[in-house]
């Protein structure tokens, strides 16, 4: 058995596979750059529709406008990677918006921010516990959290917008000013995306989150405590949603319980346009960011081009479909 | 006499890969024609072509001498060709009867009629399964029976079995072979795919071998023996299937299980494992071997009993605790439980012991590359790049990745549940030598297998389970199929022989 | 002169007839004046509306008609637009007066409420008020002003005429400003509190829905229907027919028309002297007596 | 197998199991009667909270109020059985509400109804085609349809309520009157549930829909054209959503584009509370009906008991969680 290394039990197939198979190679390529392609196409289209589009001011606007959705999309990406879904982000954002306006009145800024993040994380922990440890369906649990957190935000604020008062000036200054030419909310979003990139690609946590979405049982039988990881992604999502809510308060100067109604749909759409699969295991940070920007550009250009309100909704629907078709075109063509 | 099926010069390529090139295959009524070959040789592809699930790129399919173009699975079924798939094609949330008649349910369903007809078919196969049972609640063996009943319901003249026994214990496998013999005498033509060569000889009239998508030869079963078949499959003789058992020192006892009782009927299991030892665990399907393994690994709950590991009390509440204590499990269901298919080979390999290649929760890429490289080398895994997804590997190599994972994690006790299921002979010998390596490294190895030859060739002693009880233990001098079956069935020798027949 | 004048209409929602009509009138008036118009639907989302304003300013509008989602939340947007030289007019929903804008045009919910409450007190004529309240959406400030306005007016009128007040709000339902919401809310209120004699809604749409519920229950005759606001034409028709009590005047078209006109004046440097920062439309309780003055079957809303 | 012929028309029952294995037997029992148990508990609780609850009038209200959600839940059940999801039902209901008010003005009643149903079915067909034949993710496609159909409803109605006028009197008469003591909308819902029961349990179509959610590949390999079935469930869901919208117009007498905002969440929650699995294959008509009633009772009793608005949301969230926990308790206890 001297030559056991030479292809016993191994059809010469695998080497060939890597070398020759164009299909999956192309598909992989599109899976990686498909979102980018869609984005570029959209930008090209947009710049023919309005001169205002390719201006620095508009780019700045766009980044700032999408900062909330972007931050929530990061958390949602983690959740979706584990095959989950989080419908509660919009409501938790509302809770974050309200509590941040309340807390800055009596606490130091860092304490206030930390408390807001903690509240969001706690909401996420409740959902996460029920989903991960009691194995209840994420859709319904986070739907319940969506209802509950919104109710809580309304109760806390008594249904009234909460004015942070003069003590909230620091927060509002942060929310409305620029650093190195970019709005602070945009910086915050970009840094969180960068951190998420590092975590997802280079950390034990990120890798296992992805693995759990692909095959939870295999991960469990590798000796890993799957429920902790699954619960964690909801904690992250909740914390980030609260941050998104805090940003709204920082930008607008008022803490409102009406923040983020139906935001979960935008956020999920952005993540999926970014190529993530709701069946788990597939998705990455860079494409999620591009997905967020795609969604942003769609709305932005329709405003710039003066598309009337109701028609915007119809176009939005059509463009989302086109994006998903393109996103999946590699797969479609292969068949 | 015209052949029932004639496949002539069939070619099929997948994006550059020649899965089949110029393959010929014939089948007559009332014969069993076996199809052999290594993993990835093209067996499943050939029968997908025959079953109308894939259109060949070239070649002719003749049924009853008439050239046909199959438009889809229904077309093939309509012409009397039924396929029983490697991955079972049943809807678990539906009843047995519905699954049997899935393709031909009447627009308005009359349940009593449907159940009656299903019952007749199951009776004909000699099984006692309620047509109204949900498939999800059936054992794998019974699910297999449903598949066969489904084929019978379509008045199939050709039934193709793609590795039907891979998930069956020997007892059930034997019952299946009995059914196939019955079908053959009814004039049905059978194509039989299996990696178990003993079965091939037990059941088939003719054997065709595929290698790298080409015909590597066809022989009458009575004219061939294991060696000739292996030579055709692998391209050269394979002197020793089980390899040389290296002289290992059997060391101190490491795991002791006493009176282990589980909520599902497994009870009173006591045994111990020593370092350097390979112990087999045999028995029929449903005898509870997998469940014992999972309980030791902390994957399922224990009702009562004690375990000690290295002298200390051991009662894992999760696989995490088991792994921390150095107990590892290679699960029986590779794709479902062993690997993350669409993740990189490298990432799968380090998953069970990430801390060895990470610091403060972040990976150290150089260290990981080193570990992965060493594992690939020592396990002789054939792959494109270490970062390719595991799904790009053949079954045998996938199984090696699972083994590599636990090689790397460095536990003291390794439990292997059906480690060579669905793996071709070549890869098997490599896996056996890996198991030897594990033992040589001082681990205690427990091997669950439904292939008796494997247990005997590999193990120092074999524990036998039946109906949730440990029925006995065989030493090397007692390694005969008869002894094993007698123990596992729990009756006298007569019953054992019957099950063998 | 096309291109010389560009008007942005930023509505916090177009998802209710009132706002749709308001935006439509503003658009018509601005287009008649030869302006290019863009209308944005904030979809009830403050953040979206902030973005809408940013986009419109980036697109180069001269006049911004803003119906703000939040009085505080849109302050920064209004300031930003004004700083870019845009003439900002706030309509309908309140924008905090600290913001930089020309004027706010709205109806007075307090004044309207006072009048509707008075009318109701008259109608009850000493009978105690047993009210089923149908509110719009939770946390909505306009709704709060409206219900409190009517209750205040009712209380004051009772005190004036009887020296005491007997008002009981038996239950508050939520109708989401919409007809079908008012219908469902009324069904539950009616079951829990069969002994009501007044339905008070925060707009006409919901009271119209409540009316269907009362009709189906055969209770129409015993109950007075009043809305704190709008003057929707379907409600006005019923008022004329004597099947609906009263509603507060909150004409979306009137508000929109005046807003655009003031915007154009500002652009042409023709603003009237002493224009105050808050412009209320004239308050009125529309009742059978004066309904002909307001009913226009051809109007959008 | 002596009793093989017994239990006609009982696809799910297996004496074998009930007899031999207690764990799963109990679980099956709860799977079948769990929803009912929750419903009964809730009714008991409700009747202690308000005297008005157990009155005929209230029961009638409840049935009528839930008729829309109930009808949409039927379609959603079919969709969910195939592992899909339909977020567009609320918007299609709006389209149905608007078009029915428009059509009754110029068409005969039967023609108008047929046209409305057709429009809903067409929306469903578009989603269904994309999901079934192009294999695009249902979540995003129906999200796009949700946006698009709402936009269409708004455009058609110009954002204004559409008055069916006197020609719509027939419709309104139907919507507001009673037959044999029950409101007509309730009758409509109940008959549709009955039809769905027959289809799901006694027709090839129903069984294959279930089979597809259970194991699509198995169905495909049985020679059945899976995409047609998958597309069909969206057509059904769309058609039923349009009917639900028509009912709203019939009840309220105006066709409004605001109908059904966020209805998809209620509908999905009802189906899941009814024990259906979002992973497909599991769910039945009777329990879905009970799920709808559970959701209805929750809202109804809080209204009757005068729970203040904001708190209602928090309670709703908590009760949904409790229902799902009970629903899954068999599974939880088993572990
Ligand atoms: N759908 C497919 N797409 C791409 N390649 C495929 C596909 N199906 C099979 N192949 C490739 O074709 C070759 C033959 O595969 P096939 O499944 O027929 O092997 P097999 O003989 O059945 O192996 P095993 O014993 O492992 O089941 C393999 O290289 C496989 O990777
Ligand atoms: N006939 C059956 N009906 C229902 N469930 C069964 C049946 N047979 C087995 N099972 C289930 O599957 C388990 C099979 O046990 P287990 O997998 O541990 O056996 P094994 O000896 O490892 O067999 P295998 O060779 O299949 O791995 C049983 O405990 C039982 O839960
Ligand atoms: O005035 C408007 C309308 O009444 C609308 O229907 C709800 O919101 C109010 O602000
Ligand atoms: Mg195969
Ligand atoms: Mg086993």
C93 CA closest ligand 3 atom index:
10
Flag the least confident range among B151-160, C84-93, D14-23: D14-23
Residue B448 forms beta bridges with which residues?
B281, B417
Q: Give every CB contact of residue B290 below 8 A, 6+ residues apart in sequence.
A: B332, B417, B448
Query: Per-residue confidence at D26, pLDDT binned at 50, 70, 90?
Result: low
Question: What confidence tens digit (pLDDT) does each residue in A33-76 have?
Answer: 788 988 998 999 999 988 889 998 899 999 999 999 999 999 99
Cα distances (Å, whole numbers) of residue B218 to A310, B44, B189, B232, B233: 70, 17, 17, 9, 11
pLDDT over 70 at A32, yes or no: no
Give the domain CATH number at A246. 1.10.3470
**Residue among C147, A152, C172, C181 at smallest CA distance from D306:** C172
User: Ligand 3, atom 7: nearest CA belongs to which residue?
Assistant: C177
Question: What confidence tens digit (pLDDT) does each residue in B46-77 have?
Answer: 999 999 988 999 999 999 999 999 988 888 98
What strand order describes the sheet that includes C224-230?
Answer: C167-174, C129-135, C198-201, C224-230, C246-249, C285-286
Flag the least confident range among A267-281, B219-233, C185-199: B219-233
Helix spans in C59-140 (H): 75-83, 109-124
Q: Are the beta carbons of B256 and B446 closer than 8 angstroms?
A: no
Cα distances (Å, whole numbers) of residue B112 to B104, D5, D204: 16, 6, 15
Cα-based torsion angle of the residue sequence A317, A318, A323, A328 in order, rounded to the nearest 10 degrees? 100
Q: B89 and D24 in contact by Cβ < 8 A?
A: no
Give me the percent of chain B exceeding a pLDDT of 90. Answer: 53
Question: What confidence tens digit (pLDDT) does each residue in B281-337 have?
Answer: 998 767 889 999 999 999 999 999 999 999 999 999 999 999 999 999 999 888 889
Q: Are strands C63-67 and C6-11 parallel, antiparallel or unpaired?
A: parallel
User: How far does residue C147's CA lie from ligand 5's centre (Å)?
Assistant: 70
Interface check for B336 against chain D (CB to CB < 8 A): the answer is no
What strand order describes the sheet that includes B206-211?
Answer: B81-84, B158-162, B189-193, B32-36, B206-211, B214-220
* Kind plus residue range of the DSSP H or E element containing C7: strand C6-11
Give the ligand whose atoms come closest to the C-alpha of residue B143.
2
Cα distances (Å, whole numbers) of residue A180 to A78, A79, A183, C80, C187: 30, 32, 8, 20, 58
- Give dist(CA B309, CA B257) in Å, integer: 9
Q: What class has domain B5-236?
A: alpha beta
pLDDT, position A165: 82
pLDDT, position B122: 92
* Contact residues, chain D, for B128 at CB < 8 Å: 1
In chain D, the number of structural domains is 1
Computed over every residue of chain B, the mean pLDDT equals 87
Query: A196 is in which domain, residue-wise?
Result: 33-329
User: Ligand 2, atom 25: nearest CA belongs to which residue?
Assistant: B285
- SS3 percent helix, strand, coil of chain A, rounded to 5, is 75, 0, 20
Where in chain B do CATH 3.40.50.300 domains reside?
5-236, 249-326+412-427+441-501
Question: What confidence tens digit (pLDDT) does each residue in D76-106 have?
Answer: 999 999 999 999 999 999 999 999 999 999 9
- Of B286, B291, B468, the one to substitute when testing ligand 2's pocket (max ligand atoms within 8 A of C-beta) is B286
* Residues having CB within 6 Å of any atom of ligand 1: A 11, 13; B 14, 17, 19, 37, 39-45, 394-395
Query: Per-residue confidence at B499, pLDDT binned at 50, 70, 90?
Result: very low
Phi-psi region of B465 (alpha: psi -120 to 50; beta: other; left: phi over 0): beta
Give the ligand whose atoms come closest to the C-alpha of residue B266.
2
pLDDT, position B141: 80
Topology (CATH level 3) of domain B249-326+412-427+441-501: Rossmann fold (3.40.50)
What's the whole-number mean pLDDT along residues A233-258? Answer: 95
pTM as predicted: 0.87
User: How far does residue C253's CA lie from ligand 3's centre (Å)?
Assistant: 13
Q: Kindly state whether residue A334 falls inside one of the protein's structural domains.
A: no
Burial class (CB in 10 A: 0-12, 13-18, 19+), D22: exposed
Flag the least confident range among A21-25, A237-241, D129-133, D224-228: A21-25
ipTM of the complex: 0.85
User: Ligand 2, atom 7: nearest CA belongs to which residue?
Assistant: B139
pLDDT, position D330: 60
* Residues having CB within 6 Å of any atom of ligand 3: C 16, 18, 92-93, 136, 142, 177, 203, 205, 229-230, 250
pLDDT, position A26: 55
- Give dist(CA B190, CA B184) in Å, integer: 7
Computed over every residue of chain A, the mean pLDDT equals 87
* Contact residues, chain A, for B324 at CB < 8 Å: 223
- Of B139, B262, B450, the one to substitute when testing ligand 2's pocket (max ligand atoms within 8 A of C-beta) is B139
Min Cα–Cα distance to chain C from A320, Å: 18
pLDDT over 60 at A14, yes or no: no
Q: Is B371 in the pocket of ligand 2 (CB under 6 A)?
A: no
Residue C36 forms beta bridges with which residues?
C6
Question: What confidence tens digit (pLDDT) does each residue in D154-212 have?
Answer: 999 998 989 888 888 889 889 888 899 899 999 999 999 999 999 999 999 999 999 99
Q: Give every CB contact of residue A15 below 8 A, 6+ residues apart in sequence.
A: B382, B384
Q: Kindly state whether residue A122 falls inside one of the protein's structural domains.
A: yes
Residue with tokens 């034409």, as numbered in its chain: C233
pLDDT, position D110: 94
Q: Kindly state whether residue A60 falls inside one of the protein's structural domains.
A: yes
Query: Per-residue confidence at C141, pLDDT binned at 50, 70, 90?
Result: confident
B41 CA closest ligand 1 atom index:
21
pLDDT over 70 at C1, yes or no: no
pLDDT over 90 at B165, yes or no: no
Q: C216 and D176 in contact by Cβ < 8 A?
A: yes
Chain D contact probe: residue of A128, A262, A314, A328 with most D CBs at under 10 A: A314
Provide the strand spans (E) within B156-235. 158-162, 189-193, 206-211, 214-220
Q: Kindly state whether residue A9 falls inside one of the protein's structural domains.
A: no
Burial class (CB in 10 A: 0-12, 13-18, 19+), C183: buried
Could you tell me the two tokens for B486? 């007698």
pLDDT over 90 at A306, yes or no: no
Q: C189 and D248 in contact by Cβ < 8 A?
A: no
* Contact residues, chain A, for D278 at CB < 8 Å: 137, 139
Considering only residues D114 and B224, tell me which one the structure prediction assigns the higher pLDDT. D114
Q: Are the beta carbons of B294 and B358 closer than 8 angstroms?
A: no
Question: What confidence tens digit (pLDDT) does each residue in C79-107 have?
Answer: 999 999 999 999 999 999 999 999 999 99
Computed over every residue of chain C, the mean pLDDT equals 93
User: Ligand 3, atom 4: nearest CA belongs to which residue?
Assistant: C203
pLDDT, position B81: 93
pLDDT, position A19: 36
Q: Kindly state whether residue A238 falls inside one of the protein's structural domains.
A: yes
Q: Kindly state whether residue A180 falls inside one of the protein's structural domains.
A: yes
DSSP A185-205: HHHHHHHHHHHHHHHHHHBHH
What's the whole-number mean pLDDT along residues C268-280? Answer: 91
- Give dist(CA A67, CA A190) in Å, integer: 8
CA D15 to chain centroid: 30
pLDDT over 90 at B392, yes or no: no
Considering only residues B155 and D6, tell me which one the structure prediction assigns the higher pLDDT. B155
- Of B11, B15, B17, the one to substitute when testing ligand 1's pocket (max ligand atoms within 8 A of C-beta) is B17
What's the whole-number mean pLDDT along residues C170-181? Answer: 91
Q: Kindly state whether residue A280 falls inside one of the protein's structural domains.
A: yes
Considering only residues B241 and B357, tell me which one the structure prediction assigns the higher pLDDT. B357
pLDDT over 60 at D11, yes or no: no
Flag the least confident range among A216-225, A325-334, C65-74, C250-259: A325-334
Could you tell me the two tokens for A70? 């972007």
User: How far does residue B44's CA lie from ligand 1's centre (Å)?
Assistant: 7
pLDDT, position A236: 98
């Amino acid at each position: 058995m001297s030559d056991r290394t030479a292809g016993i039990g191994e059809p010469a197939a695998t080497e060939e596979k890597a070398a020759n198979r164009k299909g999956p190679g192309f598909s992989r390529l599109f899976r990686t750059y498909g979102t980018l392609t869609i984005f570029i196409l959209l930008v090209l289209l947009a710049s023919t529709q309005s001169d205002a589009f390719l201006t620095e001011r508009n780019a700045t606007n766009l980044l700032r406008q999408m900062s909330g959705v972007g931050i929530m999309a990061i958390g949602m990406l983690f959740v979706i990677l584990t095959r989950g879904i989080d419908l509660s982000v919009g409501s938790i954002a509302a809770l974050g918006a309200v509590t941040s306006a309340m807390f800055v009145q009596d606490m130091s800024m860092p304490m206030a921010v930390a408390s807001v993040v903690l509240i969001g994380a706690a909401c996420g922990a409740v959902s996460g516990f029920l989903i991960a440890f009691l194995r209840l369906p994420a859709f319904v649990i986070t739907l319940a959290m969506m209802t509950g957190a919104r109710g809580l935000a309304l109760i806390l604020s008594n249904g009234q917008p909460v004015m942070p008062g003069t003590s909230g000036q620091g927060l509002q200054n942060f929310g409305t000013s620029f650093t190195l030419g970019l709005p602070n909310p945009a910086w915050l979003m970009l840094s969180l995306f960068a951190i998420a990139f590092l975590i997802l690609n280079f950390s034990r946590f990120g890798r296992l989150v992805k693995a759990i979405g692909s095959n939870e049982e295999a991960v469990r039988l590798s000796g890993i405590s799957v429920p902790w990881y699954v619960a964690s992604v909801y904690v992250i999502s909740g914390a980030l949603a609260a941050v998104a809510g805090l940003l709204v308060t920082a930008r607008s100067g008022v803490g409102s319980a009406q923040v983020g109604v139906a935001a979960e749909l935008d956020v999920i759409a952005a993540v999926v346009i970014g190529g993530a699969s709701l069946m788990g295991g597939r998705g990455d940070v860079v494409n999620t960011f591009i997905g967020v920007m795609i969604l942003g550009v769609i709305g932005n250009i329709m405003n710039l081009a003066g598309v009337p309100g109701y028609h915007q909704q119809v176009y939005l629907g059509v463009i989302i479909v086109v994006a998903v078709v393109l996103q999946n075109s590699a797969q479609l063509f292969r068949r | 006499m015209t052949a029932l099926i004639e496949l002539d010069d069939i070619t099929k390529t997948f994006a550059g890969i020649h899965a089949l090139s110029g393959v010929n295959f014939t089948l007559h009524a009332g014969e069993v024609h076996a199809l052999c070959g290594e993993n990835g040789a093209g067996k499943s592809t050939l029968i997908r072509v025959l079953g109308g699930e894939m259109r060949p790129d070239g070649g002719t399919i003749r049924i009853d001498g008439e050239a046909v173009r199959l438009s889809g699975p229904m077309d093939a079924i309509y012409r009397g060709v039924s396929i029983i798939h490697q991955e079972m094609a049943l809807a678990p949330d539906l009843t047995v009867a519905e699954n049997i008649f899935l393709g031909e349910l009447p627009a308005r369903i009359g349940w009593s009629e449907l159940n009656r007809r299903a019952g007749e078919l199951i009776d004909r196969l000699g099984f006692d399964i309620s047509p109204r049972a949900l498939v999800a609640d059936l054992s794998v063996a019974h699910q297999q029976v449903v598949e066969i009943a489904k084929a019978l319901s379509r008045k199939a003249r050709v039934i193709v079995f793609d590795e039907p026994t891979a998930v069956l214990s020997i007892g059930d496998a034997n019952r299946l072979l009995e059914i196939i013999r019955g079908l053959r005498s009814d004039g049905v033509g059978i194509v039989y795919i299996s990696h178990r060569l003993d079965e091939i000889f037990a059941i088939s009239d003719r054997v065709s071998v595929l290698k790298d998508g080409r015909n590597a030869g066809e022989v009458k079963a009575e004219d061939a023996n294991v060696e000739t078949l292996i030579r055709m499959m692998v391209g050269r003789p394979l002197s020793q299937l089980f390899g040389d058992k290296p002289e290992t020192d059997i060391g101190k006892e490491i795991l002791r299980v006493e009176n282990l009782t589980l909520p599902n009927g497994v009870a009173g299991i006591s045994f111990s494992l020593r370092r350097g030892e390979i112990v087999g665990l045999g028995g029929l399907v449903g005898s509870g071997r997998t469940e014992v393994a999972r309980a030791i690994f902390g994957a399922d709950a224990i009702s009562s009993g004690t375990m000690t590991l290295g002298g200390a009390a051991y009662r894992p509440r999760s696989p995490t605790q088991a792994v921390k204590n150095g107990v590892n499990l290679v699960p029986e269901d590779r794709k479902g439980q062993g690997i993350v298919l669409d993740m990189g080979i490298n990432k799968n390999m380090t998953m069970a012991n990430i801390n060895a290649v990470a610091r403060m929760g972040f990976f150290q890429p150089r260290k990981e590359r080193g570990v992965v490289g060493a594992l690939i080398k020592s396990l002789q895994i054939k792959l494109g790049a270490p970062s390719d997804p595991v799904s790009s590997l053949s079954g045998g190599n996938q199984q090696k990745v699972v083994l590599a994972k636990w090689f790397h994690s460095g536990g003291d006790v390794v439990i292997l549940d059906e480690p060579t299921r669905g793996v071709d002979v070549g890869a098997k010998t490599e896996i056996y030598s890996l198991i030897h390596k594990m033992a040589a490294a001082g681990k205690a190895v427990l091997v669950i297998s439904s292939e008796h030859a494997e247990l005997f060739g590999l193990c120092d002693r074999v524990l036998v389970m039946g109906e949730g009880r440990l029925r006995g233990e065989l030493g090397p001098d007692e390694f005969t199929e008869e002894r094993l079956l007698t123990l596992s069935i729990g009756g006298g020798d007569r019953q054992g022989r019957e099950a063998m027949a | 002169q096309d291109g010389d004048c560009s008007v942005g209409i930023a509505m916090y929602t177009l998802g209710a007839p009132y706002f749709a009509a308001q935006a439509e009138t503003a658009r018509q008036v601005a287009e008649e004046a030869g302006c290019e118009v863009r209308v944005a639907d904030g979809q009830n989302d403050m953040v979206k509306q902030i973005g809408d304003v940013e986009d419109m300013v980036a697109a180069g509008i001269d006049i911004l008609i803003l119906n703000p989602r939040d009085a505080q939340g849109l302050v920064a947007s209004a300031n930003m637009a004004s700083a870019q030289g845009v003439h900002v007019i706030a309509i309908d929903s309140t924008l905090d007066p600290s913001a930089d804008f020309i004027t706010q045009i709205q109806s007075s919910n307090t004044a309207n409420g006072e009048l509707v409450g008075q009318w109701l007190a008259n109608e009850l004529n000493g009978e105690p008020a047993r009210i089923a309240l149908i509110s719009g959406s939770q946390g909505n400030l306009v709704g709060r002003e409206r219900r409190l306005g009517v209750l205040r007016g009712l209380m004051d009128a009772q005190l004036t005429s009887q020296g005491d007040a007997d008002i009981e709000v038996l239950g508050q339902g939520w109708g989401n400003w919409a007809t079908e919401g008012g219908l469902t809310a009324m069904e539950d209120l009616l079951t829990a509190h069969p002994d009501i004699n007044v339905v008070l809604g925060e707009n006409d749409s919901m009271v119209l829905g409540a009316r269907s519920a009362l009709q189906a229950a055969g209770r129409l005759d015993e109950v007075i229907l009043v809305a704190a606001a709008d003057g929707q034409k379907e409600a006005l028709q019923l008022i004329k027919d004597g099947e609906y009590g009263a509603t507060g005047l909150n004409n979306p078209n009137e508000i929109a028309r005046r807003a655009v006109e003031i915007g154009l004046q500002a652009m042409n440097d023709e603003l009237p002297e002493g224009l105050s920062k808050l412009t209320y439309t004239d308050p009125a309780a529309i009742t059978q007596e004066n309904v002909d003055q307001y009913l226009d079957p051809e109007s959008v809303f």
